[in-house]
C-alpha cells in the first residue's frame, strides 16, 4: 500500500480549518502592513538556491531535493521562499517600482531533514519581504508584523532573539577572529564543526553538540566587530523596537542557517521550546549577488505547521468550516431527479445543500442527514413536487411542514444561506 512520503502529510479537512485560519490572519496582517501577494514556482534552477542560501550550508549540501528534467536542466524543489522572490523581483524589473516593494507569499517548502515534531520534509511558510530600502524602520516593521501575527493567533509566551552579523565590510574581520579563536581547539569540536571552520565559520556558533556549544559561549561576538554603519543601523533597530515596546533578547550566537543575511538577524521562539516559530533578517547583498542592482532588503518567514502545533497543544480553537445546514432526501427512486433539480435550484439561490445520495431508505437517509449535522431536511416526494411543495423538517424540533417550492429559502435560518 502506498503512503504519503516520509516527512510529508495529507492536509485533511480537519487540518484545513487551521490552515485557513492562519491564512486569514496572515493575509489580514499583509493588508494592514501593505504587503501584496506573490506566488513563485515550486521548483527553480538549482543554482538560484546554491548561490543564495550558500554552497556550504546544511540546506544546500544535505537537504535539497535536486533533480534533472528531461532537458537535462538541474532543478530543485524550493527549500525556502526568499531566493525565488528576489529572482522574481529582478526578472520583473520591480526595481523601477516605488521602493520598498512589499511582498508576501504562502508556499510549500521542501527540505530533506530527519522528520520529527515540528520538522518535516514538506512544510508550509508564510513569508513577508520588504525590498529596496535599508531603513532600520523596515527591519522593525517586519519584526512587528511577525509579532502581531503570532499575537493575533493567540500565541503568547514569545521570545524575540536578535543579533547583527555585520556587512561585507566588517564580516571578514569577524570571521577571521572566529577562526583564530577556534583554531587551537579544532580537535575538540565535532567533525561537522571541523568542516565548518574551513567552509562556514559562522555556523560554528549554532552547533547543537554540547562540546561545541560550550566553546561557542566564549567565542568572539559579531556585535563587537561591527563597522560604524552596522553599529548605527543596529542601534536604530533596537531603538525602534524599544519605542514599540517589543521585548528582545540579544543572542550573539544567532547566525541563522542561510548565508544571505547581513546586519539584523532575528528569530521568534516559544519560551517553552527551542524550535523557532519564525525567523528572518536583512539580506542587503542578495539581489546584487543574483545579478540585480545593489538592493537592500529585509524579510521574515514563519512555519505554518509549527503554529498549528502550538494551537493544538494549547487547545486554542479555530473557526470551524461552514457546512450546509440543509440536506435533501427523497422518497423513492422516482423522486431522485426532482431532488437533484431542487438542490441545484437552491444552490443558485446561495443555499448550501447536501444531497443524500446512494440507495438508502428514507429512514436511512434521514439518519445520514442527521449525522452530517444538517439542521433542516427537505423531503422530496413525487406527488408533492407535482403540486409544487416539499416537506421541510426541522431536525432539532422534529417539526415538519409543507412549504411551497419557490419559498423554501424563506423558511431556513439566515445561517443556512452564507454570502
Q: CB neighbours of 34 closer than 8 A, spacing ≥ 6?
A: 102
β-sheet with 353-355: strand ranges across: 353-355, 326-330, 376-380, 389-394, 400-404
Q: Please, what is the minimum distance in Å from the beta carbon of residue 298 to ligand HAM? A: 7
Residues in 227-266 that interact with ligand HAM by CB under 6 A: 257-258
Residues in 106-125 that interact with ligand HAM by CB under 6 A: 111, 113, 118-120, 123, 125
First to last CA, the chain: 42
Q: Please, what is the minimum distance in Å from the beta carbon of residue 260 to ligand HAM? A: 8
**Residue placing its CB nearer to ligand HAM in the complex, 128 or 174:** 128
**74, 66 contact by CB (below 8 A):** yes
Segment near ligand HAM (CB under 6 A); pick from 34-42, 286-294, 297-305, 352-360: 297-305
**Residue placing its CB nearer to ligand HAM in the complex, 11 or 211:** 11
Residues in 307-346 that interact with ligand HAM by CB under 6 A: none
What would you measure as the largest C-alpha separation in the chain, in angstroms?
96
Q: Is 69 helix (H, G, I), strand (E, B) or coil?
A: coil
C-alpha cell recorded at residue 389: 411543495
Answer for which of 94, 270, 277, 318 binds ligand HAM (CB under 6 A) is 277
Neighbour tally for 341: CB within 10 Å = 12
Segment near ligand HAM (CB under 6 A); pick from 183-191, 232-240, 293-301, 402-410: 293-301
284 binds ligand HAM (CB under 6 A): no
**What phi and psi values does residue 279 have, to the nearest 5 degrees?**
-165, 165
> Closest residue (Cβ) to ligand HAM?
303
Residues in 49-88 that interact with ligand HAM by CB under 6 A: 80-82
Q: What are 109's strand-pairing partners?
A: 123
**323, 372 contact by CB (below 8 A):** yes
Q: Please, what is the minimum distance in Å from the beta carbon of residue 383 to ligand HAM? A: 59
Query: C-alpha angle 219/191/83, rounded to 5°?
Result: 75
Q: Please, what is the minimum distance in Å from the beta carbon of residue 258 to ligand HAM? A: 6
276 binds ligand HAM (CB under 6 A): yes
CB-based burial label for 219 (10 Å; 0-12, 13-18, 19+): middle
127 binds ligand HAM (CB under 6 A): yes
Q: Please, what is the minimum distance in Å from the beta carbon of residue 286 to ligand HAM? A: 9
**What phi and psi values does residue 122 have, to the nearest 5 degrees?**
-120, 125
**Residue placing its CB nearer to ligand HAM in the complex, 144 or 305:** 305
Answer for which of 259, 305, 325, 338 binds ligand HAM (CB under 6 A) is 305
The span from the CA of 159 to the CA of 247, in Å, is: 8
Interacting residue ranges for ligand HAM, rule: CB under 6 A = 80-82, 111, 113, 118-120, 123, 125, 127, 129, 257-258, 276-281, 299-303, 305-306
Amino acid at each position: 500500500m502506498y503512503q504519503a512520503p516520509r516527512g510529508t502529510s495529507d492536509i485533511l479537512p480537519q487540518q484545513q480549518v487551521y490552515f485557513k485560519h492562519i491564512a486569514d490572519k496572515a493575509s489580514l496582517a499583509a493588508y494592514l502592513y501593505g504587503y501584496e501577494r506573490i506566488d513563485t514556482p515550486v521548483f527553480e534552477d538549482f543554482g538560484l538556491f546554491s548561490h543564495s542560501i550558500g554552497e556550504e550550508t546544511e540546506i544546500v549540501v544535505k537537504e535539497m531535493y535536486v533533480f534533472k528534467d528531461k532537458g537535462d536542466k538541474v532543478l530543485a524543489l524550493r527549500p525556502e521562499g526568499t531566493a525565488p522572490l528576489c529572482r522574481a523581483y529582478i526578472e520583473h524589473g520591480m526595481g523601477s517600482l516605488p521602493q520598498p516593494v512589499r511582498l508576501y507569499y504562502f508556499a510549500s517548502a521542501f527540505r530533506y531533514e530527519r522528520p520529527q515534531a515540528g520538522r518535516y520534509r514538506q512544510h508550509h511558510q508564510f513569508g513577508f519581504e520588504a525590498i529596496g530600502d535599508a531603513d532600520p524602520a523596515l527591519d522593525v516593521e517586519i519584526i512587528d508584523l511577525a509579532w502581531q501575527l503570532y499575537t493575533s493567533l493567540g500565541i503568547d509566551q514569545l521570545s524575540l532573539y536578535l543579533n547583527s552579523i555585520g556587512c561585507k565590510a566588517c564580516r571578514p574581520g569577524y570571521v577571521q577572529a572566529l577562526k583564530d579563536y577556534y583554531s587551537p581547539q579544532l580537535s575538540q569540536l565535532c567533525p561537522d564543526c571541523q568542516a565548518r571552520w574551513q567552509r562556514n565559520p559562522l555556523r560554528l556558533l549554532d552547533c547543537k553538540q554540547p562540546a561545541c556549544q560550550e566553546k561557542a559561549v566564549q567565542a568572539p561576538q559579531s556585535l563587537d566587530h561591527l563597522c560604524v554603519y552596522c553599529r548605527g543601523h543596529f542601534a536604530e533597530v533596537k531603538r525602534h523596537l524599544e519605542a514599540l515596546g517589543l521585548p528582545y533578547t540579544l543572542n550573539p550566537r544567532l547566525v541563522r542557517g542561510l548565508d544571505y543575511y547581513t546586519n539584523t538577524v532575528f528569530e521568534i521562539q516559544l519560551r517553552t521550546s527551542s524550535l523557532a516559530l519564525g525567523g528572518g533578517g536583512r539580506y542587503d547583498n542578495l539581489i546584487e549577488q543574483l545579478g540585480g542592482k545593489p538592493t537592500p532588503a529585509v524579510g521574515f518567514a514563519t512555519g505554518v505547521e509549527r503554529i498549528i502545533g502550538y494551537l493544538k497543544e494549547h487547545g486554542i480553537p479555530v473557526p470551524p468550516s461552514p457546512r450546509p445546514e440543509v440536506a435533501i432526501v427523497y422518497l423513492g427512486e422516482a423522486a431522485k431527479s426532482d431532488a437533484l433539480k431542487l438542490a441545484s435550484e437552491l444552490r443558485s439561490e446561495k443555499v448550501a445543500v447536501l444531497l443524500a445520495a446512494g440507495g438508502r431508505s428514507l429512514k436511512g437517509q434521514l439518519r445520514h442527514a442527521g449525522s452530517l449535522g444538517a439542521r433542516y431536511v427537505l423531503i422530496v416526494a413525487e406527488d408533492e413536487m407535482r403540486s409544487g411543495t416539499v416537506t421541510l423538517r426541522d431536525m432539532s424540533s422534529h417539526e415538519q411542514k409543507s412549504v411551497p417550492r419557490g419559498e423554501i429559502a424563506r423558511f431556513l435560518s439566515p445561517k443556512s444561506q452564507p454570502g
